[in-house]
C-alpha cells in the first residue's frame, strides 16, 4: 500500500486556530471532519490516518510551532517509512491571491519560516509543497500581524469552497500523481 505524509503547517493553540498562517491545519481538519476522522496527539504532533483508493494518507499537524516544523516532518517520514516524494507540505502563501492553489515539487522557502526549517532539517528543497494563497493585503511592516490575523468576513465566506478544492487536491496528489494534480489544480 502506498503511503503519503501530508503535513499541514500551523501553530498550536486557540489563539492561532482561525489565522491565515494556520491554513495547513485548517485544510487537514476539514478533510478529517469530512471523512469522520479524529486526530490523536502523538510525538511532535496530532495525527490521523485516511485510507482512500488503496492509499494511506498520514495527516500530520506538527505541535512544534511553525518555525520548527522540520523536526516533526522528518520524524514521521522516518517512523512511517514514507519516501520523500510522497511528502506533501500544506502551507499559506502571501504571494498568491486569496484561495489560489499551487502545488510545486521543489523551490525556495519564499521567506516562509516553516518551509525554511523543513528544508534545513531534510537538507533538500526538493519536496512537494501545496501553497494556499492568503494574498498580501497588508501595509508595509504589518506582515506578521496580517499572517497571524484572522480571516475577513469575505474570506470566511469563500473558505468552505476553497477547503473542499484543497481536499480534492490532496486526494489527487496521492492517486493521480503530482504532475496530473499540478495540471488540474494550479491556479484554480
Q: How far apart (Å, rounded) are the C-alpha atoms in residues 68 and 86?
A: 21
Strands 2-8 and 55-62, sheet pairing: parallel
Q: How far apart (Å, rounded) are the C-alpha atoms in residues 105 and 109?
A: 12
Q: How far apart (Å, rounded) are the C-alpha atoms in residues 131 and 129?
A: 6
Q: Is 112 annotated in the active site?
A: no
Q: State CA 40 to chain mean position distance.
A: 18
Q: How far is CA 170 from CA 6, 7, 56, 141, 178, in A?
A: 8, 11, 12, 33, 10
Q: How far apart (Å, rounded) are the C-alpha atoms in residues 174 and 82?
A: 12
Spot the catalytic one: 8, 20, 21, 119. 21
Nearest to 153 by CA among 30, 18, 16: 18
Cβ–Cβ under 8 Å, residues 89 and 65 = no
Record the cell numbers describing residue 74, joined without a space: 522528518
Residues marked active site are found at: 21
Amino acid at each position: 500500500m502506498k503511503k503519503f505524509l501530508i503535513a499541514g503547517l500551523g501553530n498550536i493553540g486557540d489563539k492561532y486556530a482561525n489565522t491565515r498562517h494556520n491554513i495547513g491545519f485548517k485544510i487537514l481538519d476539514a478533510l478529517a471532519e469530512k471523512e469522520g476522522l479524529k486526530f490523536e496527539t502523538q510525538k511532535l504532533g496530532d495525527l490521523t490516518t485516511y485510507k482512500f483508493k488503496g492509499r494511506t494518507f498520514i495527516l500530520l499537524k506538527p505541535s512544534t510551532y511553525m518555525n520548527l516544523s522540520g523536526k516533526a516532518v522528518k520524524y514521521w517520514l522516518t517512523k512511517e517509512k514514507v519516501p520523500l516524494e510522497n511528502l506533501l507540505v500544506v502551507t499559506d502563501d502571501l504571494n498568491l491571491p486569496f484561495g489560489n492553489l499551487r502545488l510545486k515539487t521543489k523551490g525556495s522557502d519564499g521567506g516562509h519560516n516553516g518551509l525554511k526549517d523543513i528544508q534545513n532539517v531534510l537538507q533538500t528543497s526538493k519536496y512537494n509543497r501545496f501553497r494556499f494563497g492568503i494574498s498580501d493585503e497588508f501595509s508595509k511592516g504589518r506582515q506578521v500581524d496580517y499572517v497571524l490575523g484572522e480571516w475577513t468576513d469575505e474570506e470566511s465566506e469563500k473558505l468552505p469552497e476553497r477547503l473542499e478544492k484543497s481536499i480534492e487536491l490532496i486526494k489527487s496528489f496521492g492517486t493521480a500523481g503530482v504532475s496530473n494534480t499540478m495540471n488540474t489544480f494550479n491556479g484554480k
